[in-house]
Amino acid sequence: MSDKEIALILACDDGYFFHLKNLLLSIARNAPSLQAMDKFCISPGMAPEHVEFIRSHGVTYVPIGHDAFDGPLRQIVAQKPYTFCQFIRPLFPRIVTGYEHLLYLDCDIWVQDDRLLPVITQALTYSPRRVVAAPLISHYYESTIISADKNLEVQRNWVHGGYDIVLAEAIANRTFFSSGLFALPARSPFWDLWWQEVLEVAPRIQMVNREFIHFAEQTAFNGVIARHGLATVLDPLYNFHCNAGGVARSTNTGKVCSVMSKPMQEICVVHLAGWSGLQDSYRERRLVYEE
């Protein structure tokens, strides 16, 4: 697979530009294969100086208005603007065309090395239909080892507002996958299945469980995986959710590592999930990107 057959997709607004900047700086410094890719940032709008910065890092800016959505989704985005960059994900192949595969990275991610693209490329060869994504329950995570029951309860909270009881339990009692980093063939039926799931699930969650609306798109993502089995498992070292614990910066190497299983392993992709509540902890533990 050549670089031209896969595009890197980002989605960001001004509120998350701090993270996008660090992601692009980390790519430029640590991941030449990602740096060489065609890169696109889909956005509801960004300040001119932010647009100038991302363009200076080889990213094509793609402004998309809120009219990309209609009906209930547009109302949700108007009330919760951050959901734009979540709900837009199933529409990526309609916006960025001409590529065989698309790789998406959340903005609150940064990369430590150049292992991601080769691993994604290999995983995409397994099936032309499946999404490549990392599970949120793993032996790497402190939360899995110490409080697995709590993890499952959290997943139940995510899904019970969007699905009937039987299906919700079926989805909740298996590991969720993260939609914060995924790769998918542009022609896979997964995209349309995901979009239809978002259209149905997000309004329900907004009505009955709106405190979890920020998980609606990821809940729909997992609904498709549960219904259709269209997933290839990515090692969580390539999308390590730091809010799940089991992570530290090594005093010897300076690298952010997984520490729950021995030997410690260097994390390729550091995901600062749950930033709003954990940013002080992340900074104190030096998990944020450092130039």
- Average pLDDT estimate for 12-19: 96
Whether residue 289 lies inside any domain: the answer is: no
Length of the chain equals 291
Per-residue confidence (pLDDT) for residue 90, from 0 to 100: 98
User: Based on the number of CB atoms within 10 Å of its own CB, is 46 exposed (0-12), middle (13-18) or buried (19 or more)?
Assistant: buried
Per-residue confidence (pLDDT) for residue 123, from 0 to 100: 95
Whether residue 142 lies inside any domain: the answer is: yes
Whether residue 249 lies inside any domain: the answer is: yes
* 277, pLDDT greater than 60: yes
Structure tokens at 55: 């363009």
pLDDT digits (tens, 9 = 90+) for 67-118: 899 899 999 999 999 999 999 999 999 999 999 999 999 999 999 999 999 9
CATH code for position 258: 3.90.550.10
Whether residue 290 lies inside any domain: the answer is: no
- Residue with the bigger pLDDT between 30 and 154: it is 30
* 148, pLDDT greater than 80: no
Whether residue 291 lies inside any domain: the answer is: no
pLDDT digits (tens, 9 = 90+) for 213-223: 888 999 999 99
Distance CA 20, CA 41 (A): 10
Distance CA 100, CA 128 (A): 10
In terms of residue numbers, what domain contains 73? 3-284
* 279, pLDDT greater than 60: yes
Is residue 92 within 8 Å of residue 102, measured between CB atoms? yes
pLDDT digits (tens, 9 = 90+) for 45-65: 999 999 999 999 999 999 998
Whether residue 82 lies inside any domain: the answer is: yes
Specify which residues 60 forms β-bridges with.
40
* 189, pLDDT greater than 50: yes
* 3, pLDDT greater than 70: no
Rounded percentage of the chain residues whose pLDDT exceeds 90: 74
pLDDT digits (tens, 9 = 90+) for 32-44: 999 999 999 999 9
User: Looking at the 3D structure of the chain, how many domains does it have?
Assistant: 1
Whether residue 100 lies inside any domain: the answer is: yes
- Residue with the bigger pLDDT between 16 and 172: it is 16
Whether residue 139 lies inside any domain: the answer is: yes
Structure tokens at 203: 């309004």
